[in-house]
Amino acid sequence: METGELKVRMDNQVEREAPCLVACPVHTDTRLMVEHILEGRYKDALDLLLAANPFTSVCGRICHHPCEQSCRRSKVDAPVGLRQLKRFVVEATKEYRLRRRAPVTRTRKETIAIVGAGPAGLTAAHDLARAGFGVTVFEAGPEAGGMLGTTIPRYRLPYEVVREDIDDILALGVELRTDCAVGRDISLPELQREFRAILIATGLSESRMLGVPGIDSRGVLLALPLLRATCAGDPPPLGERVVVIGGGNVAIDVARCARRLGAAEVTMVCLESREELPAWDWEIEEALEERIELAPSWGPRQVLAEEGKVTGIELKRCLRVFDEDGSFAPTFDESETTTLVADTIVLAIGQAADSTCLQDSEVKVCRGGRLDYDAETMATSERGVFACGEVSTGPGSAVEAVADGHRAARAIERFLDTGQLLRQQPREDLPTIGDLPDETVERVKERARVEVERAPGETRVRDFSEIERGFTEAEARAEAQRCLACTTGAFVDEERCVGCLTCVRICPFEVATVTSTASIPQEKCQACGLCAAVCPAAAIALKRFGAERIEDDLRRLLSGAEKTSPPVLIVSFCCLFEATSRKFLDETPEHVGSTGVARVLVPCVGRLSVADILSPFEHGADGVSIIACAEGECLYPTGEERLGARVEEAKRVLEEIGMSGERIDLWRTKDSAEVSWTAFWEISRRKLALMKDEQQGETG
């Protein structure tokens, strides 16, 4: 068996995933993204994100982040800020992203038409273009992006952010035809004759109307047209007092836009109780900060008007929104009413599909205007015509639309390959390790979540400037440190394990147990690696950091470095959570040769064994400099003292073979500035140079 090659025992023989990955509709490996951030490998992090989600820039701003809602750290303090970390990666790699854009070679003769340039349609276009097909996207509006570009307020999502993602997709060779409405400028039957497959991804672009007396009065507006006009810079006058009917995210957007358009009083009226509001909690909190008033458990009775112009609205008490079966069936107390004065009333009670594109076609439509399609095959009633996104699934989030676009691309590729329909589950369910066990929660060190401060609500409503900034590099690294690296911990090689109980004694989280051999449940393991460092049988390895990685890094970094190296060559083991020097991030043998420092990142230097510490000397290094977290700052209990003991043991080994133990330095620092790291290595080089001079003098 080669070094580091382990026979791994998996719980129940099933690979279980971290809840954050499972909760993400596109299964982004956020754990690996975090590790890339900690290592300063921002380009790799971007590649990872874009491979899963072509709309990474958009989701870094507006994603409802189900990954965070499932984060196991929530039981300790607060979830890791994964959405903000994705935004940081995008903002840290802008030049690299431009360089990575390139057309894909066309390898298939089949062509595909996609109707609608929103996130679902463009994601499918992205995947199909990468598969070698010719793809043309038809968009009725002047710009691509769907509602991302035309209705989401700029204070949440600047359009240039949407364009970053769109331009990536178009760079693959996707053709985009804007101002070309299918059903008006070209018919669906014409597309069927020209293209081998068609995907309809037009979304839900129409606002629903409300049937109450007075609803046709001047001053009653629909939400989506108002949002489109606002994004286009041509909003209608709203007056001082605005009432928004609805409790969802679109209603929140309308209310917050109304404040920015000059309304002094904005009230959201909704059937749901405060606890039942469908809008995201953080959207509601931000709206309250901007002095949006909530009127929950009320429904419209009639619009009040004078001479055809809105003056207010009469409301009736809503007792219940859903019936016993969970169906929408509101009941009211007609005897309890109230009245609100209003200059403008905006209806944000739901969205419907625009079926213009289906004119002259045989594609069937369900009640409510959504397409009649098979949720597993994504096929409509017409052969070769598929559907995805909100026009088929109903209202959803941007990342859910991306996931549906991926599914549609797979379905179309199978159809064009075989003529057969591909059956896929609407949602891929992966096994998860579940919540962090209570007994483990008690032993995990708390670390405050890094929050980005927003301007006060009264300041924000003065204009449409973006209300949230991104992480600085220091903030991103600090937040990334909070990740528990779930499922990337220790595994046991049963053939090597002798059941000696060393792992049981050493584990600071009391995870390991031994019967005949050791068992380390992955739902409890915190991936510190302290057990792997001291296992006398070398029977434990980390999924996150294999035992062979140090040797591999040393061989790679030191190969050929001695040809150009300065008189002293130092191997520096740096804690992944503490080392922040940009100067030494992208290590190459040539760089090592010019600086005299080979930098090896370790998830925790506390997991270094005596053999690890001595290994650089076998590869020709003159000294070892270990840079650890500040005293008391190590994430893992007992890690600091155990490292100190191993360093002393490694020094004794050097002394026994006639080398000075002073060749090994252990640094603890409170400062992560580059100047500190440079100073550490410079001091180490000078000290070792003096030692070599003394040794040469003694030999002479």
For the stretch 641-651, pLDDT in tens is 788 888 999 99
The CATH code of the domain at 111-204+353-418 is 3.50.50.60
Q: Is residue 257 predicted with pLDDT exceeding 60?
A: yes
> Two tokens at 573?
């083991």
687: nearest Cα among 650, 657, 661, 662: 662
308-312, 489-493, 518-522: range with highest mean pLDDT: 308-312
DSSP label of 389: S
Per-residue confidence at 674, pLDDT binned at 50, 70, 90? very low
Is residue 582 scored above 80 in pLDDT? no
pLDDT for the residue 679: 66
* Tokens found for residue 603: 């998830």
- Judged by average pLDDT, the poorest of 72-86, 300-314, 482-496, 585-599 is 585-599
Q: What is the model's pLDDT at position 113?
A: 98
Domain spanning 549-699, CATH class:
alpha beta
Q: Which of 70, 60, 79 is nearest to 24 (CA)?
A: 70
The pLDDT confidence band at residue 669, using thresholds 50, 70 and 90, is: low
Two tokens at 461?
A: 């409503």
Give the CATH number of domain 18-100+447-480: 1.10.1060.10
pLDDT band at 476 (very low <50, low <70, confident <90, very high): very high
pLDDT of residue 673: 44
Distance of CA 67 to the CA centre of its chain: 7
CATH 1.10.1060.10 location in the chain: 18-100+447-480
For residue 285, pLDDT beyond 50: yes
* Tokens read off for 680: 């550490």
Mean pLDDT across the chain, nearest whole number?
Answer: 88
Q: Which amino acid is at 297?
A: S
Stretch (H or E) spanning 385: strand 385-387
CB 616 within 8 A of CB 610: no
Q: Which residues belong to CATH 3.50.50.60 in the chain?
A: 111-204+353-418, 206-351
Q: What is the mean pLDDT of residues 49-56?
A: 97
Residues of the chain with pLDDT > 90: what percent? 63
pLDDT above 50 (res 333): yes
Task: Return d(Cα 160, Cα 175) in angstroms, integer.
Answer: 20
Q: Return the CATH architecture of domain 1-16+487-546.
A: 2-Layer Sandwich (3.30)
Distance linking the first and last C-alpha atoms of the chain: 46
- Nearest residue to 405 (alpha-carbon basis) of 123, 20, 18, 172: 123
In residues, how long is the chain? Answer: 700
DSSP string covering 509-558? T---EESSSEE--TTT-----HHHHH-TT--EEESSS-TTHHHHHHHHHH
State the DSSP H helix or E strand holding residue 418, giving kind and residue range, or none if neither. Answer: helix 398-418
> Mean pLDDT throughout 440-446?
91
What band does 9 get if pLDDT is binned at 50, 70 and 90? Answer: very low
**Residue listed under structure tokens 């595909």:** 112
**Lookup: tokens for 561:** 């470095």
Instruction: Categorize the per-residue pLDDT at 592 as very low, low, confident or very high, splitting at 50, 70 and 90.
Output: low
And the tokens for 365?
Answer: 């439509």
Place of tokens 């740096």: 574
Sequence-ordered strand ranges (E) for 145-239: 175-177, 197-200, 206-207, 220-222
Burial of 377 (0-12, 13-18, 19+ CB in 10 A): middle
499 sits in the region (left: phi over 0; alpha: psi -120 to 50; else beta) called left
The answer to whether 551 and 3 have CB atoms below 8 angstroms apart is: yes
- Amino acid symbol at 165: D
Tell me if 81 sits within 8 A of 89, measured CB to CB. Answer: no
Confidence of residue 298 (pLDDT cuts 50, 70, 90): very high
Tens digits of residue pLDDT in 383-395: 999 999 999 998 9
* Torsions phi, psi for 146 (to 5 deg): 60, -145
352, containing H or E segment: strand 351-352
Q: pTM, whole model, 2 decimals?
A: 0.88
Question: Is the confidence at residue 407, as pLDDT, over 90?
Answer: yes
> Is there a contact between 56 and 126 (Cβ–Cβ < 8 Å)?
no
For residue 548, pLDDT beyond 70: no
What CA–CA distance (Å, rounded) separates 487 from 496?
22
> In whole angstroms, what is the distance from residue 329 CA to residue 318 CA?
11
The residue type found at 203 is G
Domain(s) labelled CATH 3.30.70.20 in the chain stretch across 1-16+487-546
| Tokens read off for 574 | 């740096």
pLDDT surpassing 60 at residue 149: yes
pLDDT-derived band at 568 (thresholds 50, 70, 90) equals low
Task: Let me know if domain 206-351 sits in CATH 3.50.50.60.
Answer: yes
